[in-house]
Amino acid sequence: MNIKRALPALTVVVGMASFLVISSSYTANNPASGPQWLAGDHHVHSRYSVGWDRETNPPTPILAGDAIYPIPMNTLMGRRHGLDWMVSTDHGGPNHSRINRDFAYPELLEARQAVPDMVLFYGMEFDTPGADHSSIIVPYSEHEADSLFEIESRFAKREPWPADDSWDTEPRMIEALEAMKELPLPPIVIAHHPSRSATELGNYGSTEPAELRAWNDAAPNIAIGMEGSPGHQAAALRQQPLTTAEQNDNSQAARGGYRRFPTMGGYDQMTAELGGFWDSMLAEGRRWWITANSDSHVHWREGGSDFWPGEYSKTYILANKNHQSIMESFRQGRMFVTTGDLISELWVTVESGDQATDIGGALKLQRGDTVDVTIRFRQPAAPNFNGDSPQVQRVDLIAGPMTGKTDDAHTNTNPGTQVVARFHEQDWRRDGDYREISYRFDSVDAPMYLRLRGTNTDEQEPALDGPGENPWQDLWFYSNPIFIEMR
């Protein structure tokens, strides 16, 4: 396949990266001493997210025509910014499955050699039939390239040439998920920037609540969640001036590229709205998790709107530092997300009698049981990558009723969701580097879920993000939920 080279000088970086091998005997699957909070990013583009010369038939891919960095460079920069794991996710176009298999994958193998202490996954930003994009995270194996090729070549909606609208339907996405279930090692699918095409609150655009429910119904162990905090958050820092066209549509000035209806505290409305879509999924008892990532294409210092992987957003997974453990914890929701390195650890323990669980877990209680919640969080000792040491001003404990499966797949609210307690500095105890908070539910008589969020702001609810807002001044963290069920 002929690939035009838009930025040939970038190939030098790959050669440089090959001299950075730390230990040739290391494998990223070596077990760590035990589960720990591992920071990562599952949405990172390389130069194989190509541009296209559409004067040819079929269109000719242009190397670095969209995202510009080699995979080893992304991996090195992710490691520099504190990541333990990362997923390389290039998006497609006509016959892009061959670009991923024949070019991106060999470079990913080189990146694993160059940065052996990074647990690097192979994946792609899937051109999702009937919806916006999504991450496909492929389990580590000797067959990972073939597995992704099988999915992309058969189901990515931009894959065929000539273009074929029949590939871009909601039923076709269900067909794709069914095919993924048949793979020896099924992948994970995470919906990307789900409300980026929204025109108002509750009018979501190309990815609708009913679609996400259908995905989760079809493949609950594969379609497990969505980006809570999307990438492209560095628009306000961009060092090259906006063009007239960019100024007119605000696409580059808005955090996340959400130019029609904005993010809220740097988070998608599906996550940030209290009692909104995410809470409606949790009300059904769905194990539907949120993540954060960079969506890195071009760094803001080089004319883009992006941070490096790990520079601003992190998804923390409680796992051993190897591919299999991280994938298992991903599926179990043992995750929290943060922006601006507001926190680096978050431990939430829910206890009743001799039972206990933590983030992503569930308790089964008798009606009337007492439930104790212990929250421990840690703020990084070192400044973040803006040179700041942000302080958590408040932590919110959020609870919502679990009411069972809805009859209306378009449901996007859970009105019973509320902030049951707001904690400020005077409400927590110091235990070395940790802050600790306790809360008791004296008598639990109905199923519910609990989740946390925290911020360095004094906003009671995350405000709409205006164009040009400095992302470093508006930071939030969110936990994934804990479920309390009745026997």
Chain segment 59-103, per-residue pLDDT in tens: 999 999 999 999 999 999 999 999 999 999 999 999 999 999 999
**CATH, domain range 4-21+34-486:** 3.20.20.140
Instruction: List the one residue out of 154, 180, 179 whose CA is nearest residue 167.
Output: 154
Residue 10 is predicted with a pLDDT of: 34
- Confidence check: pLDDT of 250 > 60: no
The per-residue pLDDT of the chain, averaged, comes to: 92
Residue 151 is predicted with a pLDDT of: 98
Q: How far is CA 68 from CA 18, 64, 79, in A?
A: 18, 4, 18
Residue 349 is predicted with a pLDDT of: 98
pLDDT tens profile 192-241: 999 999 999 999 999 999 999 999 999 999 999 999 999 999 999 987 66
Contacts of 6 (CB under 8 A, 6+ apart): 51, 62, 63, 64, 65
Identify whether the C-beta of residue 123 lies closer than 8 Å to the C-beta of residue 158: no
Residue 389 is predicted with a pLDDT of: 97
**3-class SS letters over 133-159:** CEEEEECCCCCHHHHHHHHHHHHCCCC
Contacts of 91 (CB under 8 A, 6+ apart): 45, 49, 66, 124, 125, 126, 127, 133, 158
Residue 253 is predicted with a pLDDT of: 77
Identify whether the C-beta of residue 447 lies closer than 8 Å to the C-beta of residue 474: no
- Confidence check: pLDDT of 337 > 60: yes
Residue 323 is predicted with a pLDDT of: 98
- Confidence check: pLDDT of 11 > 70: no
Give mean pLDDT, residues 469-478. Answer: 97
Residue 13 is predicted with a pLDDT of: 36
Instruction: List the one residue out of 227, 216, 231 whose CA is nearest residue 406.
Output: 216
Q: Indicate the pTM of the whole model.
A: 0.94
Residue 439 φ then ψ, to 5°: -150, 145
Give mean pLDDT, residues 379-394. Answer: 97
3 state SS of 390:
coil
